A and B are shown apart, each in its own frame.
Chain A
Amino acid sequence: MYVAAKGGEEAIQQAERLYHDLKGKLTPEMVEQVEKGMPYLLDRIMGESSLYAPQLAALALAQAGGDTYEAVLILRAYRSTQPRLAYALPIDSNSMTVVRRISAAFKDIPGGQILGPTLDYSHRLLRLDVLDKELVAEDSGTAELQAADEPSPKQYPPVTDWQRTQKMLPELDSIENPEPADLPDLTREPIMFPTSRPHRLQALARADTGGLLALGYANMRGFGPVHPTVNEVRLSYARVQLKHPVTGTVFSVGNIRVSHAEVVQTTKASKDKVGLELGFCATFGWNEVKNIAGSMLDLAMDREDVHPAFTEEFVLYHTESVESSGFCIHLKLPHYVTFTSGMDAMKDAMMGVGMAQMPTSSKAFEKQDAKSPAPEADLETDEKVSPITAVESESETESEKEMS
């Protein structure tokens, strides 16, 4: 194999080495520590990668020095070429082992409010005592967990079941479980709009947590139509089951952490459409903030005449973590050709408004063919560089003169 190695090639290899040198050595022990000690970070990474594999997520995180966008990219690139060996059976959300489920819509709900594991009501005090190894305070969360007198049930009826009996929500259409292999798969097909329901839910499930949060927050703060009530938030373990390809025996391949949220909002869209609307979001791992924001956006995206920032296309394109982060950092790449081209298109325009003092003696600037002195221009390159917006206001009058 012949690869011409010149300056650029040597430089990038050394730059990568320097990065790893500063970051510290990647060891199996470190990966193990990340896997054991950072479950919620792993959950987030696995959700955004659409790959449930705690050990691989820990490896990706350790390898990327904790940079979450890098870690998600590494995992997704690994996932993208893995063969599909089998499709799991659909998981009935009623069959999952629920460790936490709360509803904000009612004081109490059938089955009860189950707080489960949460930091919601903790005092967010920095645990400085941990640094002082000899003095670990007793009330700092290390006290032993007390078992309840009676074990709580594993399953709970969904709040929406009760709401459906009360006619607050429309009955669900009865549909056959689709063949899993026939479900549209966002990772094997491009997203098109309006999306199918599976594509939308998949896009939300793998969306950037921070991205969904920002848009969800903007929506509920007042720029969107939705300020919902949390109908139910759940953290669960789901058993993944496969059917043996030969014997047809159903067997379990293990439990995964999943979470979902449902939000409701009263609707007065029309006389015959009064009641509750439901928004839904689910993801790998336990990630409540993502699910609440996502379910809120799920609702908002269904509205007509919604603010542009909450349309399906806007939300789902721009919360794609790998694409958004990748395109953002691509601005570090050289753009001098497009810049030259853009500046060339502006030359005449700039001469016309006395903006010739460019850091260059290029004669081409003197050759301008000033048909019209020109003000601000939307310089079209792929990155929309607009270097001379400053001349906008003062040149306005001149161009008006020219026009009349």
Chain B
Amino acid sequence: MRPIGMRSVLAAVGALALLVAGCGGAAAPASTGSASSSAGSGSGSGTSSSAQPSSQPVAFDFDYPVGVSGPLATIMTNLVNQFNSTHPGIKVTPVFAGSYQQTLAKVETGIQAGNPPPVAVLNHTAVFDLLHLQAIQPLDSIVQAGNFYPAMLKPEVQGHYWSAPFQRSTVVLYYNKDLFQKAGLDPSHGPATLSQLVSDAQAIQQKTGVTGIEIPSDGTVYWEFQPFAIDQGSNLAGSNGTTTYFNSPAVQAGLQFWMDLSHKYKVEPVGILPWNTVPNDFEAGKTAMIVHSSGSLASILQNSKFQVGVAFMPKGTATDVTNLGGGDFYLMKGISPAVQQAAITFIKWMTAPDQAASWSMQTGYVAVSPADYQVPAMVAYTKKYPQALVAPAQLQYAEPELSTYQLNQIQDTFDSAVQSVLDGQSTIKAALDKAQQQAQSILAPYKTQ
């Protein structure tokens, strides 16, 4: 490299960087403007024949994520094709959009460029960030007529239902019935209380040498942690999108129990356990119990060579607890009335019992309405796999998933705090106090709204 040439080049880069930064700043408000002004005009990319009269079908795109391992994109495409063939006036194009986060990124990019997909499946918890972008329309009529599980509709935000439940899951306890039997425990039920959880795990470790329990703690660790905090008396956040309770006594007590499992009772490996390998350890008989998503049932049943038990989360107080996760249908703003009408028809159809039951059986998600479990195919399915009925039975005790504005940042804040404690880098109180303080400063700008 010749120093003189490169130095002047670098100086020029500096100047250009300023220029680009300036352009970026100027472009942002312009794009927001175009998003709001284009309301009621275009629809999905390349398919905006929507405004035309009934001779042509109303066509629109539908973005969806995949959150469960397996050929879900194929199953979804088949389901949407079935809708298209039974609704001649409408043509929906299903668009696979990656993980939940990637789908949100794709949808938000479209929103900011004035080209949103009219319908998307996104996390139930994305509601605050979507409202902040002024991107979504309420779905009150669909939700009120849908007879969905009430737990799936919580919290009601700004007096409306903003999404229709579709692919939801709960936190459950899986246990190895064969190991329970070997340890002299009753395999017909899992541990009902936290102290039974500890004594069962200790008994299994003593009699069989197998690890008592594994609870995943990487990625979105807040999710599998929530039941342990709710059980002690408080969820991680309020329902207004700006209040967090990260350092409440309940959260501290929940985290203390997690630490005790490894350090005091010595029934769980020390450190951070990966979400993706915890089920493998269970399937391989390396751990007698795991806490995981109800959505993991199908693959666990498929890969385990022993009797698999599914149980409610053990409780420390009088009432059962669990936590909901998963995705809902959202209807975007800025679409033509014809597309909007067709989109509502589509969302209604997809969340109706026949389709919801079919989606649940093929994917492992909890179905969204009690009526779904009366569909004959579902009745036969749950007769064969009674374990699939644990999650819906849990729903009456289910609390909402952590949901706020700036959700990614808030979740990361809490997840890092828990992991720093599990790693032994911080004490429970110091980590949670800091997380609460950070969360409140992130959310401060949203409080006045």
Binding partners A and B: no
